[in-house]
Each structure stands twice: as C-alpha cells, then as structure tokens.
Amino acid sequence: MAKTKIAYFCQSCGFESAKWLGKCPSCQQWNTFVEEVLEKPNTSVPTWKVSNSTTQQRAAKPVAVNDITYTEEHRTLTPDAEFNRVLGGGIVPGSLVLIGGEPGIGKSTLMLQLALNMPGQKVLYISGEESDRQIKMRAERLSAVSSGQLAVNEKSEIKNPKSESNQSCFILTETSTQNIFKQIEELQPDLVVVDSIQTLHSAHIESTPGSVSQVRECTAELLRFAKESATPVFLIGHITKDGMIAGPKILEHMVDTVLQFEGDRHHVYRILRTVKNRFGSSSELGIYEMLGEGLREVSNPSEILLSQRDEQLSGITISATLEGMRPMLIETQALVSTSPYGTPQRNANGFDTKRMNMLLAVLEKRCGFKLGAKDVFLNITGGIRVEDPAIDLGLAAAIISSHEDMPIPAKTCFAGEIGLSGEIRAVNRVEQRIAEAQKLGFEQIFISKYNLPQAGKGKQISIDLSRYTIQIKPVANIEEVFGLLFG
C-alpha cells in the first residue's frame, strides 16, 4: 500500500505546508493550519466524451493568434432575463459558475427555479444538504408550476406534465463525486446544479467534506467534466462570517463566473451581483423580489427604489446611477442634526463612509456650511450598495436640503461627481442616465457642464440635447447648484 501523506492547509487561503505553522506566510493569519490526510488511490476520473465532435484536442505547440479560428459562442437563454443579464447574455456551454450568499437568502430557491424552467433541457439537481422530499416541497411552492402538478417518480425525477417544452428536472441526493459522475454518465444531462460544493467529497482525498483540499479536488473534477463534456455546471457555495465565499481563494480562480446573492432576509428584495465573469461584464446585477411562491424578477428597478410620497420632505433627492449596463434612479436620503455629544456621528448605509466625509469637507470648505459639529446620516434606499461617483451631487444636495430644512423641488434628478475643489465633474454614459430620468417622468436633471459640447475646448464628452424633452441644467460647481435649488 502507498504511504499515507499528511499535509497542513491554511483554512483562510489554502496555503499548503509540510508541517504545522502558527502564522500563515501567505495571508498572515494566525492559528489557521489544520492537518489533513492525503492519499491518492488508483481510481481515475472518468474521461468524458466531448459533445461537439468537431472539437479537436489542442496541439502542444505555440499557435499564432491570426491562425486561431474563432466562432461566436452559442449561449443558452434562460426564461429569467435577470439571470441572463448577470451571466453576460446566457449560459455558455462548458462554463463553471459559482453562486455564493448568506444562509437563507434564496440560493437554492433561485437554482431550483432555474432548473424547473429550462425549456427543452435535461437538468440534474445534485443536493448534498437536503433530501428529495424537501426539494419536492420547495418545488411545489415555486410560481413556475402550480401545486399538484409536480411528481417525483422512481428515479427522483420532477416533471411538469403540462409544460409544452416537455422539460424535466432530475434530483440526486449524493455527496460522493464518484457516484455523482456515474449517474451523470448514465443520464447525460444538459445542465448540472450542485448544492453545495462544501458538502461533496472525493475518494482521492482522505479528509472531511468542506476542507480546503476536498473543496479544491471536487471543484477540479467538476471543472474537468464541464470542459470536456461542454456541459454547464452551477455550484452553490457557502460564505464565511466576513461575507467571503468559504473555502480557499483558489476556488474563485478556478471557476469561470462568480455570482454573489445579496440582500436582507427581513426585506423582500434580493440582488444577484456579478463579481467575476470570463464571458461578459463583471459589473452587472439582477434584482429579484422574494415572494411566497418563489423569486420574481424585477425588470424596472427604478420604480421599486423610488418611494411614493404625498408631501415634499427635506433631505431626499433622486440620483441617476449605473450598475453595469443598466441605468437606475435611486433615492438618496440625508439627515443632518445637532450632535448632543462632543464627537459628531457619521454613518452611511449603502455608501462609502470615507467618501461621505470628503463630501462634508467640500461643503464646509467651499460653501461655508458649518457641519463639523453636526451628526450626519446617509441612506441609500432599497438596501443596495452604490459605488458610482455620479451620485455625489445628489448626496450633497440631500445634505444641504436637510441642513437648511428646505425640500428639493419635485421631479428633480442629479448626476455628477464632485471634486475636492467643489467642481462638478463629468460622468460617463450620461445620455443613458438622462433617458432613464425622462422615461420615469422627471422634469429636470442636474449634470456637469463638461458633459456638454464646448467650442474651442478640444474633444469633449458631448450629448445631443435635442433628443430629450427633460430640462437639462448644466452646473460647474457646488455653489451654483445651491443657488439654483434654494436661490
């Protein structure tokens, strides 16, 4: 018999060492090394037949870029438009997608809802956390199929007999990768969902499921299967208390796409954010509403992020932001009050606190507002987090409105970045922001004057004003904004 090999792995970053170390030399964390037994049996990973017969094995020699033939990758569209958006336009054959999120946020619901609604696709849903009866109970609650139409047959197959596309979803409750690959070889599915990667274990590694070596080995086997068979695989991953995806960092490097499912369990809205994507933009997001019968996609997020008010209140503005290729209008709220303590409080929800302190310093230095002894609170409604600098102008206007206790005129929108000298800087893709504000019925929008064409100033970021019916107000600095709003 082969000699058993013992290695030590860092639970934080996956660094491997031959002996135990108190401090990890890679991530500088203390007391993170655990002992794991490694033993490589003679069993081998099955060789998968490539679904495309025209695909040839790569030659082990350099090839000129001009000699490489490229055809546009065919993507499989899902019935979920928001899911297609975050994936970059659909599911790419042979892709490996990792989805992470907090417990109870709706990861399993999202993937089961996707598996039940793939038209003409044979989907294998692998669960290592729940039994087939639990999955059956969740499937009956989903809005895609009504209760009583689903049935689990002898092969753990969930079907909707009234579906015109004759779609089918097969459920497999297994944690051993060797048994999983045997079932995959018999079933030949078009899509595989694994819930979750931390529950799988491989016979190639003698360690507990969820350890660094097991997660890495199981992901490598699934990656090989996905690439050789051109079958897309979706992995559901756990996260740590810090919000990072559990397991070694190499897990995120191995997969093609990393999606983060965010949101508060006490609120109905969920955000599916793209963290990494080799087949599209890595700054897209999809918005869902959690209902009793499943997740409902939100096609127009601006309407849910804007509250309906009967009266004008101070400290509330509307800002035009961009998330990937999608323009959105969000409501920004500010509250400025006298501090009852010696040190004023500065708190921001959904916005960078350091950037809020910069905006307060600009308002105090350039506009003369005495905010040093004031408590300032900022809030981005809807529970989303915004990093677009174009909302600086809207936040500054909300702070001024709350400080002076004067409401902003109705149907007013803002899109501009504020510099340290108080100037309003131009933002990118301002035409999409203006079009979104006009579509939702806003009457005026404040933008930087540097977004307008200027004669004799060289190449400028220009827009065509004749295309819009909304009143566009170009401003140069924060003092001009204050004069136009409050006189």
Q: What is the CATH number of the domain that holds 212?
A: 3.40.50.300
DSSP state of 365: H
Q: Which residue has the tokens 């500088």?
A: 28
The whole-number pLDDT of residue 163 equals: 46
11-25 residue pLDDT tens? 777 788 889 999 999
Query: Is the predicted pLDDT of residue 134 greater than 50, yes or no?
Result: yes
- Based on the domain organization, do 211 and 358 belong to the same domain? no
259 and 344 share one domain: no
User: Residues 271, 366: one domain?
Assistant: no
Of 180-189, 317-326, 388-397, minimum mean pLDDT range? 317-326
Q: Over range 93-109, report the average pLDDT.
A: 91
If asked whether residues 15 and 100 sit together in one domain, one would say: no
Residue 400 annotated in ligand binding: no
**339 and 209 fall within a common domain:** no
Mean pLDDT of 452-472: 66
Going by pLDDT thresholds of 50, 70 and 90, the confidence category of residue 232 is very high
* 422 carries a ligand binding annotation: no
User: For residues 274 and 286, is the Cβ–Cβ distance under 8 A?
Assistant: no
Q: What is the DSSP letter of 15?
A: -
239-254: average pLDDT: 79
The answer on 434 and 341 residing in a single domain is yes
Cis peptide, bond prior to residue 302, ω within 30 of zero: no
pLDDT band at 393 (very low <50, low <70, confident <90, very high): very high
Q: Is residue 44 part of a domain?
A: no
Q: Over range 458-485, report the average pLDDT.
A: 79
Give the pLDDT band (50/70/90) at residue 224. Answer: very high
Is 72 part of any domain?
A: no
pLDDT computed for residue 259 by the predictor: 94
pLDDT digits (tens, 9 = 90+) for 253-302: 899 999 999 877 667 888 898 999 999 888 888 889 888 888 888 888 88
List, for residues 181-207, the tens digit of each pLDDT value.
999 999 999 999 999 899 999 988 878
102 belongs to an annotated ligand binding site: yes
Residue 287 contacts residue 382 (beta carbons within 8 Å): no
Token code pair at residue 286: 């999809």
pLDDT for 333 equals 93
The whole-number average pLDDT for the span 370-388 is: 88
Mean pLDDT calculated for residue range 129-150? 70
Q: Would you tell me how many other CB atoms lie within 10 Å of the CB of residue 293?
A: 14
Work out the average pLDDT over 237-247: 78
Judgement on whether residues 227 and 364 belong to the same structural domain of the protein: no
Res. 348 pLDDT band, cuts 50 70 90: very high
88 is in an annotated binding site: no
Reply yes or no on whether the pLDDT at 485 is more than 80: yes
Q: Considering the chain, what is the average pLDDT of its residues? A: 83
The DSSP annotation for 228-282 comes to: HHT--EEEEE-B-TTSSBSS-THHHHHSSEEEEEE--TTSSEEEEEEEEETTS-S
Q: Is 106 annotated as a binding residue?
A: yes
Examine residue 59 and state whether it is found in any structural domain, yes or no.
no
Please tell me whether residues 81 and 156 are part of one structural domain. yes
Is 103 labelled as part of a ligand binding site? yes
Burial class of residue 375, CB neighbours in 10 A (0-12, 13-18, 19+): middle
Place of tokens 């040839």: 56
Same domain assignment for residues 280 and 316: no
Tell me the C-alpha to C-alpha distance, in Å, between residue 48 and each of 92, 395, 406.
18, 55, 68
Task: Kindly indicate the confidence band of residue 35, based on its pLDDT and cuts at 50, 70 and 90.
Answer: confident
461 against 76, higher pLDDT:
76
* Cα 394–Cα 400–Cα 401 angle in degrees, nearest 5: 85
- pLDDT of 54 above 50: no
pLDDT grade, residue 153 (50/70/90)?
Answer: very low
Helix (H) and strand (E) counts for the chain?
A: 11, 24
Written as six digits, the tokens of 327 are 């323009």
Distance in angstroms (rounded) separating the CA atoms of residues 177 and 383: 38
Judged against a pLDDT cut of 50, whether residue 156 lies above it is answered with: no
* Structural domain contains residue 337: yes
* 319 annotated as belonging to a binding site for a ligand: no
Reading the block at residue 278, the tokens are 């080799």
Report the chain's terminal Cα–Cα distance, integer Å.
Answer: 87
Residue 32: band (very low, low, confident or very high) from pLDDT cuts 50, 70, 90? confident
CA 392 to chain centre: 23
Shared domain check, 202 and 123? yes
**Radius of gyration over every alpha carbon of the chain, rounded to an integer in angstroms:** 27
Eight-state DSSP code of residue 348 = E
**Number of domains making up the chain:** 3
For residue 372, say whether it is annotated as part of any ligand binding site: no
Q: How is the beta sheet containing 346-349 ordered, strand by strand?
A: 346-349, 374-380, 326-338, 316-323, 412-415, 444-448, 471-475
Where among 236, 271, 299 does a domain terminate?
A: 299
Whether residue 482 sits in one domain with residue 345 = yes
**Three-state secondary-structure class, residue 183:** helix
Check pLDDT > 50 for residue 160.
Answer: no
Query: Kind and range of the H or E element at 433?
Result: helix 430-439
One domain for residues 351 and 308: yes
Average pLDDT over residues 300-317: 81
The pLDDT value given to residue 47: 57
Q: Which domain holds residue 130?
A: 77-299
